A = this chain, B = another copy of it.
Amino acid sequence: MGEFDLIERYFKRPGHQADVGIGDDCAIWTPRAGHQLAISTDMLVEGRHFLPTVDPARLGHKSLAVNLSDLAACGATPKVFLLSLAMPRADEAWLAGFSQGLFALADAHGCELIGGDTTQGPLNISITVMGEVPAQQAILRSGAKAGDDLYVSGHLGDARLALEAFRGQISLPQAVWEAARLRMETPAPRLALGQALRGVATAMADISDGLLGDLGHILRASQVGASIDWPASQSLLAASATWPCPETLAMTCVLTGGDDYELVFTAPASARLAVQAAATASGTRITRMGQITAERQLTVLDAHGHAMAHHLRSFDHFA
């Protein structure tokens, strides 16, 4: 199967968004007036972002999910994406699974594949997504204010728990392992919540490298600090509901785990009802887990409000 057959068979579908889609030198697309474009790109490498054993459909899902998560973090609505794919060989079974998982998520969010590239090489998946946001309503990292509440969506740390189990560092009951693995392999980008928080959240980021690291981006961009209420955060690990996770492991997973693709965001205390309404409207669990502070430090507080000693670092691709 040649390069053009491969694109024709697995990736070319009837489109609605683009004026010209796959099959010319460029895709041609006309964004709506009164909107700004939100654009993001993420590259996934075998062994670094996914395990060689991953099911191709789940990998297709995850490759797009991590990109959509960046749109969610700005409050944008996904519109179109481009896919570049390097593969050692054109494996039809793999392509069928990968494209099925990719398009299932794309269709669920109305995001259309309008272009891409395929080539031979070590497995590498690079996606660029584009979304729209009403003019001046993008939620940036730079808007957090001292006194704002600090929230996260969904659960945190289960993907890291799965990774620890996969690496043989811990042993998990079968049901806990399966649930954690699903979190690692098929994250759900929080698009509905992100959009519902436009005009409500003061700052937002998605959690890809671990909470402390990604919250750190917000703190630096906003020139503020934060205190995290650990007792309020401990239950963020979904596995902890059914499995007695040691506290140090829970702390590592929740605070620095990575691969969560949840949203961390801030909002004034006066907006608590509006935040809860956004969560309810989008069907998304949220947890108020701390506060933004004027003092530019990131502190984790125990049940007595005392700072806990921690030496936790988030994931750095070249550390």
Contacts and interface: CB of A to CB of B under 8 A. Distances in A.
How many copies of this chain does one complex carry?
2
B86 A20 contact: no
Nearest to A5: B318
B120 A121 contact: no
Contacts of A234: none
A254 interface: no
Contacts of A146: none
A25 B90 CA distance: 32
A303 interface: no
Interface string A27-45: 1111101001111111101
B141 A45 contact: no
A248 B41 CA distance: 44
Contacts of A90: 318
Given A19-B36, A84-B126, A128-B41, A318 B3 contact: yes
Contacts of A47: 121
A140 interface: yes
Range class of the A interface residue count: 35 or more
Given A43-B126, A84-B42, A317-B3, A26 B138 contact: yes
Interface centre among A25, A41, A141, A316 (most CB of B within 10 A): A25
Given A3-B318, A126-B84, A317-B118, A39 B29 contact: yes
Contacts of A102: none
Interface in A2-56: 2-4, 6, 19-20, 23-31, 33, 36-43, 45-49
Residue among A28, A130, A131, A204 with max Cβ neighbours from chain B (10 Å): A28
Contacts of A89: 318
A128 to B, nearest CB: 4
A129 to B, nearest CB: 8
Interface in A79-108: 80, 82-86, 89-90
8 closest A-B pairs by beta carbon, nearest first, are A45-B121, A25-B73, A126-B126, A26-B38, A43-B84, A122-B122, A128-B128, A25-B70
